[in-house]
Amino acid sequence: MGELLNIASLSAGYGKATVIHGVDLTLERGKALALLGRNGVGKTTLLNSLIGLTRHHGGAIRLDGLDVTKMTPERRVEAGIGWVPQERGIFRSLTVEENITAVARPGRWTLAAMYALFPRLEERRSNFGNQLSGGEQQMLSIARALVLNPKLLLLDEPTEGLAPIIVEELLAAIRRIVRDEGLAAIIVEQHAQQILAITDEAIILDRGVVAHACDSATLAADRQTLGRLLGVGAGD
């Protein structure tokens, strides 16, 4: 399929503090990567560095052959990075439909496609963002990222704090996005087994460095590594 993302010796953080140290990572087109690790090891910082929200201390980021290392977040979005932050980032004073259409760019991910992916959003198309449940806001956040028609989708703990039935809906939608539609994605998730089941590759961060990297199926079966780097029973 060819390489889409290349991260070479990336070091970044906030202010003078370096949080991630010399991270190397490549991702092919159409592949999904599970980004795992205990709390505070740099997972969100790595995503924030890809979208341009951290201080760059070294290394380079190339997306589809383009060096985006010094680009602003807005230019990185234009280059093809879609981002779903933990804070969701929806417009609470706009309706569901306005939230989606306000940022939409031409491509296969249209308003109609979002409603097909998330029927709940179509049912609530006239509701304002602040009238949605947490799960519905997360669906809307993903929809807003998708209608930018990105080359790479970043999802930062998309199921955090949600009811089990909503988690199932979201995981099914993410599975469709990355498996059926073949959109490249990097997904941060605390529940390792859930996300390993729908991704191709996985890395585990520890203290800001890549401590382990392999394919998702291999890691899912490696209880020793999951226990050592994520904690006993992590992701079950």
For the chain, the domains span 30-47+80-230
Check residue 87 and give its pLDDT. Answer: 87
Which 8-state DSSP code applies to residue 120? H
Q: What is the pTM of this model?
A: 0.94
Check residue 201 and give its pLDDT. Answer: 97
Please name the helix (run of DSSP H) or strand (run of DSSP E) that holds residue 44, with its range, or none.
helix 43-51
For the chain of 236 residues, list the mean pLDDT of each consecutive stretch of 10: 94 96 97 96 97 97 97 97 91 96 95 96 96 95 97 96 92 94 94 94 96 97 94 51
Distances (CA, A) of 101 to 98, 148, 152, 168, 173: 5, 10, 20, 26, 20
Q: Phi/psi at 23 (nearest 5 deg)?
A: -75, 130
53 burial level (CB within 10 Å; 0-12, 13-18, 19+): middle
**What's the CATH fold of domain 30-47+80-230?**
Rossmann fold (3.40.50)
- Specify the residue for token string 């060096």: 67
In sign, the C-alpha dihedral spanning 224, 160, 112, 3 is negative
